[in-house]
Amino acid sequence: MKNRTWLALLLVLAIVVAACGGDGGESTTTEGEPSATTAPSDGPGTTGGESGTTMAPGESTGYTELDQALAGEFEGTTVEVWAQWLPESVEAANFTAALEPFFEATGIEVNFQPTPDYETALQVAVDGGNAPDLAQIAQPGKMHQYADAGSLVALDFFNAEKLEAEMVPAFFELGHYNDSLYGVYYKTDVKSIVWYPVQGFADNGYEVPTTWDELIALSDQIVADGNGNPWCISIESQEADGWVATDWMEDILLRTAPEEIYNQWISHEIPFNHPEVLEAADYMSDIWFTEDYAYGGSTYINATWIGETQDPMFAEGGPQCWMQKQAAWIGGFWGANRDFIAENPEAPSSEWPIVPGEDVDFFYFPTIEEDFGTPVLGAADMFVMFNDRPEVRALLEWLATPEAAQGWIEAGGFLSPLTTVPADWYTYPNDGLSEMVQNATTVGFDASDLMPAEVGAGTFWSGMIDWVAAEGENTEEVFQQIEDSWPG
């Protein structure tokens, strides 16, 4: 009897400890299906020749480890990559597909984990010593935090001269911190565009506005015609509620103030509620809070999820709202496209129920003050490195080549920060967008991403929400509160 009690006690304790021990060791890597990204279903050689890549073994790419990898030196190794693109999203599928040539050419398996609640998950993994080898980061500020904490590998091995020659200068610079290269930009977005229903515009004789005055005139015209409301706007986005509004602010500020003001606003050399910024807010409220301009008013703006903002544009019986300022990814969320893509993630956009470029097209968010030219507001994703192994270096180097972008460019929804990507790879709408980048007098990086997180992902977002809730009545108060919340 006594012995049995002993044994029982021991067993219970053992189970408890084993459970604890097991947790620490392996919990972070069990989710997801590691094989999903690497299934080499079509054997090597079947997709080799067609793409015209320069990845033939023996020919130097200019990157040391990548050359070694292409020579097969790291075959059979695995690299773990995390990114914020949600599991089963179009982005995750495209990235997975884009990685396939790397596996075929080098034999290095890339274990790509699309991760929900990404920023928290990454932070927890890094803090717990389980950081992935490579991780995508959208906010330069986050990269600075990880670099300050000593979590990141400085990319001293990288052929920086080659990268500088092949990348848009602004992105090369943004990858640096404290004079070291930490991030390699892979993907960019242009946000300065406005979508409109093509047939609806034609039926009503509406023309694409090219100046701010024309934009306002068109808005008035739509209201006067009794065609519903000119604008589809909403900002509800769960954890990141409010970012659509900050994008608007930034895009307008780039158009109403010199670039220096924009940069000083980001670095807080001028107060957050500088008169130039308040002026931009006034321009913004001319569209957001003018009566009958925004569909559903301020409640709709605050209560509607950003993926559904534009639903009234596709209402039966004609558009109820006519213009939406949003980056190109929104096409996947138009009305019937949402369900269609969920069922047919592989289908090209020309097969979608609502075809970008035919049913809905975009125009450049117009210039406001001529002096400031034609700026564009952009966002971008970089990859940073947490674990330094040769095969990890090779993958990072490969991600800086046009080949890494080709698959996704052809699938659509992708702009590369590389200048070496052939222009004829792009299809609609990215041909137009990359042209916009080239014509841009200024490329403004998303300001809220560059501000301290307390502001850029905190009070700036919540301030915009309060501003909308008060229908723009409390502009000075809101911007003063954001200014007061600036840390330090």
Report, in Å, the least distance between residue 447 CB and other proteins.
Answer: 17
Only one of the segments 27-35, 58-66, 326-334, 374-382 lies at the binding site for other proteins (rule: CB under 8 A); that segment is 27-35
Q: Using the rule CB under 8 A, is 13 a contact of other proteins? A: yes
Instruction: Kindly tell me which of 7 and 347 has the beta carbon lying closer to other proteins.
Output: 7
Only one of the segments 13-21, 86-94, 192-200, 329-337 lies at the binding site for other proteins (rule: CB under 8 A); that segment is 13-21
CA angle 363, 367, 372 (to 5 degrees): 140
Q: Using the rule CB under 8 A, is 22 a contact of other proteins? A: yes
Instruction: Kindly tell me which of 309 and 337 has the beta carbon lying closer to other proteins.
Output: 309
Q: What is each CA distance from 417 to 137, 165, 200, 251, 410, in whole angstroms? A: 15, 12, 34, 20, 15
Residues 6+ apart with CB under 8 A from 432: 362
Length of the chain: 488
Q: Using the rule CB under 8 A, is 145 a contact of other proteins? A: yes
Distance CA 80, CA 67 (A): 20
Give how many residues touch other proteins by CB under 8 A. Answer: 50
Q: Quick one: which of 217, 278, 303, 347 contacts other proteins (CB under 8 A)? A: 303
How, if at all, do strands 321-325 and 134-137 pair? unpaired
Q: Using the rule CB under 8 A, is 242 a contact of other proteins? A: yes
Q: Using the rule CB under 8 A, is 132 a contact of other proteins? A: no
Q: What is each CA distance from 389 to 69, 394, 430, in whole angstroms? A: 12, 9, 35
Residues 6+ apart with CB under 8 A from 91: 85, 329, 413
Instruction: Kindly tell me which of 14 and 342 has the beta carbon lying closer to other proteins.
Output: 14
Q: 162: burial class by Cβ within 10 Å (0-12, 13-18, 19+)?
A: middle
Distance CA 325, CA 333 (A): 14
Helix, strand or coil, per DSSP, at residue 382: strand
Quick check: 135 and 370 in contact, CB under 8 A?
no
Q: Using the rule CB under 8 A, is 431 a contact of other proteins? A: no
Structure tokens that stand for 487 in this block: 């840390």
Q: Using the rule CB under 8 A, is 128 a contact of other proteins? A: no
Q: Using the rule CB under 8 A, is 8 a contact of other proteins? A: no
Q: Quick one: which of 453, 475, 483, 486 contacts other proteins (CB under 8 A)? A: 453
Instruction: Kindly tell me which of 34 and 345 has the beta carbon lying closer to other proteins.
Output: 34
Segment 272-301, which members bind other proteins (CB under 8 A)? 295-297, 299-300
Quick check: 283 and 253 in contact, CB under 8 A?
no
Q: Using the rule CB under 8 A, is 488 a contact of other proteins? A: yes
Segment 191-220, which members bind other proteins (CB under 8 A)? none
Q: Using the rule CB under 8 A, is 9 a contact of other proteins? A: yes
Please provide the DSSP assignment of 258-326 as one string: -HHHHHHHHHTSS-TT-HHHHHHHHHHHHHHSSTTTBTTHHHHHHHSBGGGTTGGGG-TTS-SEEEEE-
Q: Quick one: which of 3, 30, 41, 267 contacts other proteins (CB under 8 A)? A: 30
Q: Quick one: which of 36, 263, 469, 486 contacts other proteins (CB under 8 A)? A: 469
Q: Quick one: which of 462, 474, 475, 480 contacts other proteins (CB under 8 A)? A: 462
Report, in Å, the least distance between residue 348 CB and other proteins.
Answer: 31
Q: Is the dihedral of CA 125, 128, 133, 138 positive or negative?
A: positive
Instruction: Kindly tell me which of 13 and 71 has the beta carbon lying closer to other proteins.
Output: 13
Q: Quick one: which of 31, 42, 203, 239 contacts other proteins (CB under 8 A)? A: 239
Q: Using the rule CB under 8 A, is 302 a contact of other proteins? A: yes
Instruction: Kindly tell me which of 4 and 205 has the beta carbon lying closer to other proteins.
Output: 4
Q: Using the rule CB under 8 A, is 41 a contact of other proteins? A: no
Q: Quick one: which of 43, 45, 49, 76 contacts other proteins (CB under 8 A)? A: 76
Q: Using the rule CB under 8 A, is 347 a contact of other proteins? A: no
Only one of the segments 25-33, 178-186, 208-216, 403-411 lies at the binding site for other proteins (rule: CB under 8 A); that segment is 25-33
Report, in Å, the least distance between residue 22 CB and other proteins.
Answer: 5
Categorise residue 188: left if φ over 0, alpha if ψ from -120 to 50, beta otherwise. Answer: beta
Quick check: 467 and 278 in contact, CB under 8 A?
no
Q: Quick one: which of 259, 410, 454, 483 contacts other proteins (CB under 8 A)? A: 454
Distance CA 337, CA 345 (A): 10
Quick check: 287 and 149 in contact, CB under 8 A?
no
Which residues sit at the interface with other proteins, rule CB under 8 A? 9-10, 13-22, 25-26, 29-30, 34-35, 76-78, 111, 119-120, 123, 145, 238-239, 241-242, 295-297, 299-300, 302-303, 312, 452-454, 457-458, 462, 465, 469, 481, 485, 487-488
